[in-house]
Amino acid sequence: MLNKTTWLRISTPVAVLALALTACGSPGKKSHTSTSHKDKPHSRFSAHKNGERGASAAAKSVLKPGQSASRAFKEDTGVKPYYSITARRIDVGTAADAKALVSDPKDAEGKVPATGYVTYRHMTGDVVKEWPRVGDYADVYADGQRGAKVIGGDAPKGCADSDDIKNWKDGQSYTLCNTFLIPADAKRLEIAWTEIGGKPFVWKFPARR
């Protein structure tokens, strides 16, 4: 489902938000976007090339919203559980919402925020005691280009904060969300999830009007 909603503004001050701008290159180039829980957020745009994290064009199969895919994933803590991954929806905000997420309004010109909602179910394997990173690898693409990831701030409504998850075990599910800035006139939206160098799972959403 693609939703254009009244944006739930992030309550954390703009100064502690970061944008990893990776939408400049075409999919398939090396990415410098960090996903470690140890990294501290920055306060402004920084330009990087797109990565090997899975362009939608590289996928051999395409999923519909609500359909699931599954894969073993090695967490930063060393455990490697098997997850079911389901992309559910993308919520798109307004130009004003985009400007509220950056320290310099010029960085958000022509952009709107898009939040991808993805549910992860721990199917089998070791308990994830803390800091699950599986949710960091879900990216929003707009017209084939990866958006600029917004790092920092509170989790949107309906989304868990991965840093608060403890002792994640078989049968438990959490919805984890990532927000990206995308061109305001983008029509085709997708969520792609993959490990670095892996084959992506891609969910296509209805075209925006």
CB 178 within 8 A of CB 161: no
Chain mean position to CA 87: 10
What is the structure's pLDDT at 204? 97
Q: Is the dihedral of CA 24, 29, 32, 33 positive or negative?
A: positive
What is the structure's pLDDT at 45? 29
As a whole number of angstroms, the distance between CA 74 and CA 196 comes to 11
Record the pTM.
Answer: 0.75
State the amino acid at position 198 in one-letter form.
G
- Residue ranges for the chain with pLDDT beneath 70: 1-60
Rg (CA), the chain: 16
CB 144 within 8 A of CB 98: no
What is the structure's pLDDT at 198? 82
Q: Which helix (H) or strand (E) holds 181?
A: strand 173-183
Assigned CATH for 2-204: 2.60.40.1240
Q: What are the residue boundaries of the structural domains of the chain, listed by start?
A: 2-204
Cβ partners under 8 Å of residue 38, min gap 6: none
Closest among 184, 191, 32 to 99, alpha carbons compared? 184
With vertex at residue 116, the alpha carbon angle to CA 144 and CA 133, rounded to the nearest 5 degrees, is 105
What is the structure's pLDDT at 2? 53
What is the structure's pLDDT at 153? 79
What is the structure's pLDDT at 35? 30
State the amino acid at position 206 in one-letter form.
P
As a whole number of angstroms, the distance between CA 101 and CA 86 comes to 27
